[in-house]
Amino acid sequence: MRVYIQGRKVRTKRLVNTMYKPRLYRFSSARFKARSEVEAKKAEEEAKSSLLLIVYLLSLLQSSEFTLTVL
């Protein structure tokens, strides 16, 4: 089987394997500024979600419905 993409011959020896289970490469920007912005945004979201969890747990502790028993 001969396959040409943009006028170049494609090696088809392992073509079936690569189409069956393609590899996934996570995209990361080559620019340091873009990567740092994404990481900062992710850190802010994690901090916000952990803060909400702490507030929720404190509200449960203060409510009369929840009792904490330590063994």
Q: For residue range 13-48, what is the model confidence (pLDDT) as tens digits?
A: 776 666 666 677 777 777 888 888 888 999 999 999
DSSP letter string over 13-53? Answer: TTHHHHHHS--------SSHHHHHHHHHHHHHHHHHHHHHH
Of 59 and 25, the structure prediction assigns the larger pLDDT to: 59
In a domain, 20, yes or no: yes
For residue 8, being part of any structural domain is answered with: yes
| Residue 48 lies inside a defined structural domain of this protein | yes
The whole-number pLDDT of residue 60 equals 78
Task: Answer yes or no: are the C-beta atoms of 11 and 21 closer than 8 Å.
Answer: no
Q: Which domain holds residue 42?
A: 3-53
Model-wide pTM > 0.85: no
Inside any domain, residue 68: no
Count up the domains in the chain and report the number: 1
